[in-house]
Structure 1
Amino acid sequence: MTWFTNNYSDESQRFGSPFGHWSFCEDENYFDDLANVPRDAAVLSLRPTDCNWDALASLDALEEVTAAGLTKPQLKCLLGVKTLKRLRLWNMRQVDFTGIRQLDRLEELALFNVSGPKSLVDIAALPALRSLLIENMRSLDDWSALSAARGLQCLCISGGFVEVRPKVSSLAFLGDLDALRHLHVGYVNCTAAWPVFEGLARCAAIESVHVNSSSFSVDDMAYLDAIIPEEKQLEKRRHFVGGEDRQIATTLEAAKQLSGDRLEWEPRVKWQKDQPYTRRGPGKRDDVFAKLAAFEDRLHTVRDRVKQALAAGQSVREI
């Protein structure tokens, strides 16, 4: 397995984006009184303690906003700023995005710990949206509305590092995203039927895929291997083995070069859909190698069967 290293932009690292396709500014421009914001301000950071929210309506040059913990009335004022191109929201509950449709210039939307929506219909209707990052939205499990976001180029669905992961019942909508170039799916509770990534096979424009394997089974990862070239897969961590010098190996052959009689194995995947996760497991050298061999055998077998089925025009569900 190849480990990819990318020179992600500072702003993409700042809020956890796995691909540097975002253009948020790093500068934070705060004003306790929004009536004091210059009329030509293009970038602004908002807090719930700010006053004079009606002043936002007069800022006709405002293109980017970062906001945290806003109340419903404050969010309503913000969604009335029709010049916005980039919007980043943090730590908000019971959010209603009905008014977001009027932001017809909005290109990039990042939502962190924002809950409340039961549907993404309004977000998917944004005509200029090209990048969408949603982290830890636990009020949602149906993401199918995103199939209408036909101009979406960058999509990140993640649970961050919280204990309770957001639910994803299907990723079939990916097949409708003709413009999709970069995909990240990490730390989610995925209940979709295999093959989870079937829709992704129809994304002809895809350039990079980053998947956290603890959300998927070995068979899911094998299917991904079959449809996406390895050079487009970013840091897809299947397993590692640590030796006495804490080196990391991602294949059985590399693991055999490590020193020590006891190794630690952490595949962080499910063997099968209905079986529990395989967690970190220290053990004797030969026992760990046996587990790695079984892991790789399953991965390679399913991957090859999928490739053969696709080449023959057969349904992979029958293999």
Structure 2
Amino acid sequence: MKDLQFNRHRRLRSSAGIRAMVRETVLQKEDLIYPIFIIDGENIKNEISSMPGIYQLSMDNLRAEMDEVVELGIKSVILFGVPFEHDKDEQGSGAFHHNGLVQQATRLVKELYPEMIVIADACLCEYTSHGHCGLVEGDKILNDASLDLLAKTAVSQAEAGADIIAPSNMMDGFVAAIRAGLDEAGFEDIPIMSYAVKYASAFYGPFRDAANGAPQFGDRKTYQMDPANRMEAFREAESDIAEGADFLIVKPALSYMDIIRDVKNTVKLPVVAYNVSGEYSMVKAAAINGWIDEKAIVLEMLTGFKRAGADLIITYFAKEAAAWLRDEKN
């Protein structure tokens, strides 16, 4: 036995203190972006059946939600509007209305907490009667004709006080159109957090319950990416960078950690992982049934996204994760 030669890797795992000392990836509450769904009406707090613990909130309930978010130390939120069906139209005009849901919520959040970073999701799908992310002619999603409306949406959100615009529609040229629209309106300093690498994923199902935004016909495979493709992610990311994006989102995250790493290795911009609704719901369902340790699973998963290369994480677990991270420090 004295002649054996081998490395003693366990020396650096021998105590909690040493493990913390050599830890390569650290998850912080500042990494987390919390999504909030704003619904029209008063005194509404609808729990989303497929997303336990996540709610559609009317404006009067947003204050309490933001108080909790701030108390937990979360520094940024992303806002989604959930209009009633009778308020939707073929153009999705509620997306760019001065008093649209995201615009109203943005003004309220910035009034309550000026230092909170408000990210506005800029898309038409929640507001269109057909549920698609662009204008429709027959069964075709019109690309170029949709760009002006997306730019109008971004400008109206910036006028309301949004700190960052996050366009999620996946129309070709959407970043260029939005950048031009923002610049022409005097918002040269507003960054664009582009959903640059967005796959046509089955993991979005619960979100469509939350945002009441499922397509009324067909699917989104003609504008969202094929889950089988890797090289396409580079093409999409390169285009958005050239058009003026400031952040790049990879969505979903859990099944696309290789893509997160690929994008991080390729670009110099901050990379954002979107831990989507289906990923949230699977973990929640397993936790409710007592099959997993929710805290351990969630923190491991979020740390995995960071290890894969994400600088920021949009996640429905943001509040819980922030509380767990705070408790660990205490």
> TM-score normalized by structure 1?
0.33
> TM-score normalized by structure 2?
0.32
- Structure with higher Rg: it is 1
Higher helix share: 2
Q: Considering Cα pairs closer than 8 Å and 6+ residues apart, tell me whether 1 or 2 has the greater RCO.
A: 2
